[in-house]
Chains A and B, each alone.
Chain A
């Protein structure tokens, strides 16, 4: 006599066994797809990061000059240093203006003694793009930007520092760099806002309200009014 219930149990077990390779195969395919996507994204990021940062920087002309001299030069970015070669010039020339404020990574040419020069290139232009990345600490990169600001008094640098220090919760430094920006140009809204937000974070709410009211009086800024309302309500 057939034990059909036992056979059904065995059949369920057999089904699981039969479908196992499908699950494993599916998982492997998914895994490979994820790996490929992440590799592809990494590549795009590296390229995009380079190009954008170079153009963000007002001193990128120096970069270009150095490149045209057929020499490799090292540039420090807030997080990394890039070694550029000649072929990169083509990419530089094709790239247009980019917004610097939103990006945290600024390319900074180092002082002569800090430069890491790999070797001179006397050979003709090579098509291959080569980028070496050497990590440096954030604080070093910020000091480089500060040093550069002292020379150039560039608002982009001071605004970048104010923004970065605010994000890193170093509010006193953020206030200092917002004020530096404000000294150079009183109409940059972001510097007012960072200044006010930093004051609030340091517990000086009244000062923040006073500053914002003064700015609203000058500009009638929507963002400033919104922030003021938020500070008052909190």
Chain B
């Protein structure tokens, strides 16, 4: 039988599984904004934020929610070549598989799209779009200009990528949605809700404000970093629980363990 800390540890394994999705104020707002953007007659929408702010899970969730209402497709991993990308698009548009040795004629594809303008409305969600080169991005724009295909482009936001994104998309993007790191209240809700979802009430109650403050400080409110930190915290708790239970306070998560986890992950130096 798994110990409570082992279960808690597994909850924080980083994933984009919808079952792990936790509703927070900011993520709900971003979801509503994205949903309304999809309904508007916009050609392209830019979704950006730092890695680990929940872009992928948001795209995943919106695909899941709207898949029965709209023609919505989620490209979770970027295509390695233009040929591969257009094979995928061709399949979506024509619902036919193209032979692997065949090439898609881009001009014909655009014309084809224009042909079903007003009849079909296709939404394609592109995750990790910073991986696409400028030439492909230009072709995506031309496709979106056909007004038959709408692209939701998700980008990592780093200093340089932010600049590139703004430069590249400033004349093409019609709406921008930014996801930010969580504040301490949101992160606290996120951690507690995740644990309560698995009925780990005692573990959840043991994480007091002081520890939460430290967790927020070390993870900078980033969900991915928070997951890593929480995983390591429960890994240490699991060790103490099995080997040295006298060192573990079951009522209150010791700050020492949070700091040890931060040391392990390199957030702080000894």
Contact = CB atoms under 8 A, between A and B. Distances in A.
B236 A7 contact: yes
Contacts, number: 30
A2 B236 contact: yes
Interface string B254-270: 00100110011000111
A14 B269 contact: yes
A62 interface: no
A17 B232 CA distance: 22
Contacts of A17: 270
B235 interface: yes
Interface size, B (range): 10 to 19
Contacts of A7: 236, 260, 263-264
B263 A4 contact: no
What does DSSP make chain B's interface, helix, strand, loop or mixed?
helix
Interface in A1-41: 2, 4, 7-8, 10-11, 13-14, 17
B240 A11 contact: no
B211 to A, nearest CB: 15
28 contacts: A2-B232, A2-B235, A2-B236, A2-B239, A2-B264, A4-B236, A4-B239, A4-B240, A4-B243, A4-B260, A7-B236, A7-B260, A7-B263, A8-B260, A10-B260, A10-B263, A10-B270, A11-B256, A11-B259, A11-B260, A11-B263, A11-B270, A13-B270, A14-B259, A14-B263, A14-B269, A14-B270, A17-B270
Interface in B2-49: none
A225 B32 CA distance: 104
Nearest to B256: A11
Contacts of B270: 10-11, 13-14, 17
Interface of B: 232, 235-236, 239-240, 243, 256, 259-260, 263-264, 268-270
B222 to A, nearest CB: 22
A13 B270 CA distance: 6
Nearest to A17: B270
Contacts of A2: 232, 235-236, 239, 264
B240 A14 contact: no
B184 to A, nearest CB: 21
B57 to A, nearest CB: 28
Say what secondary structure dominates the interface of chain A.
Answer: helix
A234 B268 CA distance: 71
Given A2-B232, A4-B236, A4-B239, 6 more contacts: A7-B260, A7-B263, A7-B264, A10-B270, A11-B263, A14-B269
Contacts of A10: 260, 263, 270
B268 A14 contact: yes
A171 to B, nearest CB: 67
A10 B259 CA distance: 10
Contacts of B235: 2
A84 B197 CA distance: 86
Contacts of A4: 236, 239-240, 243, 260
Nearest to B262: A14
| Shortest 10 CB-CB contacts between residues of A and residues of B | A13-B270, A10-B270, A14-B270, A7-B260, A4-B239, A11-B260, A10-B263, A2-B235, A11-B259, A2-B239
B230 to A, nearest CB: 14
B237 to A, nearest CB: 10
Nearest to A9: B270
A8 B236 CA distance: 10
A11 B256 CA distance: 8
A4 B263 CA distance: 11
A5 to B, nearest CB: 10
Contacts of B260: 4, 7-8, 10-11
A13 B268 CA distance: 12
A217 to B, nearest CB: 81
Nearest to A11: B260
